[in-house]
């Protein structure tokens, strides 16, 4: 069966319930009825029990390089009107995309995921962005899909306890927290339109740096930015999520060999330079409906 037996039972008229028995453990419906009634019941089940269409969700997760002059430059409020006559600035210095691109031109880029992928790879080859991942997941109509590109950070906690004789003891527990890029998506199919519920599109990172802060604060400090929305798009078209900024902190330590390791005064022979960079995470998502034969 393609549909749960409980859901099929809800489609049976009250007058037929006496002839149908549901065996949940085996996911079986047993029909015991006169031949004519049994044929009607089986026909009803055959009409209702159709294969559930599925959606292939293709995604490109990329980070716009923070140290280049390129800004992604699409006005997302207008970008949804790809078939119109509006023009959008693309300002990609160094590419043959300077100036404007009409709605029809953007339609060619974002109508097919293969075209979108080629466009993004072109930007990547010229150093304007870095492709972080290109995940593909399949989800049933109405069921959630999850995409996670995370870094696991472990830290220890030592809750104090005591015994009956007032002796204090410490127990070390290891805890885990995830930071990175997370997508929770649920597709809903209506004809050739896919409504995508984006329950969570989140970018997060541990903002501690690899210096003395780790000893002062051993617990992770997670900075999170997330959005949630619902978007309807035609089968095979592409939607874009932008504006999620990921902050990177880089510490560069310069040391005088030998002298920087002297106890007590070693810190006088070393210096630390901290650089903080903000990079925009852009996510392209394209749903493609997959139907079984005969559905």
Tens digit of each residue's pLDDT (9 = 90 or more) over 123-148 = 888 777 888 888 889 998 999 999 88
Structural domain contains residue 149: yes
Q: Is residue 179 part of a domain?
A: yes
Residues 38 and 177 in one domain: no
Residues 183 and 201 in one domain: yes
Stretch among 200-204, 230-234, 246-250, 276-280 having the lowest mean pLDDT: 246-250
135: in domain:
yes
pTM summary value? 0.63
Residue 10 counted as domain residue: yes
Give the DSSP letter string of the chain. Answer: --S-HHHHHTTS-GGGGGGEEEEGGGTEEEE-S-HHHHHHHHHHHHHH-PPPPEEEEEEEEEEE-TTSS------HHHHT-TTSS-EEE---TTTTT-SEEEHHHHHHHHSSHHHHHHHHHHHHHTTSEEEEE--EEEEETT--EEEEEEEEEEEEE--EEE-TTS-EEE--EEEEEEEEEEEEEEEEEETTEEEEEEEEEEEEEE---SSTHHHH--S--EEEEEEEEEEEEETT--EEEEEEEEEEEEEEEEE-TTGGGSTTTGGGGEEEEEEEEEEEEEEEEEEEEE--TT-
pLDDT for 92: 40
Structural domain range at position 228:
54-63+129-156+171-210+217-290
Number of domains into which the chain is organized: 2
pLDDT band with cut points at 50, 70 and 90 for residue 103: very low
Which pLDDT tens digit goes with each residue over 14-49?
Answer: 888 888 888 877 678 888 889 888 888 888 888 887
- What average pLDDT does this structure show over 102-128? 71
Residue 168 has pLDDT above 60, yes or no: no
């Amino acid at each position: 069966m393609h549909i749960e037996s409980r859901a099929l039972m809800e489609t049976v008229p009250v007058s037929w319930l006496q002839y149908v028995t549901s065996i949940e453990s085996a996911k079986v419906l047993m029909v015991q009825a006169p031949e004519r009634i049994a044929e009607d019941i089986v026909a009803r089940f055959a009409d209702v029990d159709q294969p559930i269409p599925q959606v292939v969700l293709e995604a490109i997760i990329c980070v716009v390089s923070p140290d280049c002059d390129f800004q992604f430059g699409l006005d997302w409020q207008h970008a949804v009107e790809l078939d119109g006559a509006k023009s959008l600035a693309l300002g990609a210095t160094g590419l043959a995309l300077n100036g404007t691109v009409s709605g029809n031109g953007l339609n060619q880029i974002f109508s097919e995921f293969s075209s979108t992928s080629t466009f993004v790879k072109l930007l990547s080859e010229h150093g304007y962005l870095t492709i972080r991942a290109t995940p593909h997941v399949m989800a049933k109509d109405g069921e959630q899909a999850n995409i996670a590109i995370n870094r696991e950070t472990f830290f220890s906690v030592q809750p104090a306890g005591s015994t009956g004789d007032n002796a204090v003891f410490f127990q070390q527990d290891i805890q885990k927290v995830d930071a990175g890029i997370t997508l929770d998506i649920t597709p809903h199919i209506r004809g050739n339109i896919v409504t995508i519920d984006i329950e969570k599109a989140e970018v997060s990172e541990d903002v501690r740096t690899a210096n003395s802060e780790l000893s002062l604060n051993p617990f992770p400090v997670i900075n999170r930015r997330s959005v949630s929305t619902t978007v309807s798009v035609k089968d095979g078209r592409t939607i874009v999520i932008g504006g999620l900024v990921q902050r990177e902190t880089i510490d560069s330590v310069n040391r005088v060999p030998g002298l920087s390791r002297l106890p007590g005064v070693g810190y006088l022979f070393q210096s630390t330079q901290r650089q903080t960079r903000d990079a925009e995470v852009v996510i392209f998502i394209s749903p493609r409906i997959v139907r079984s034969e005969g559905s």
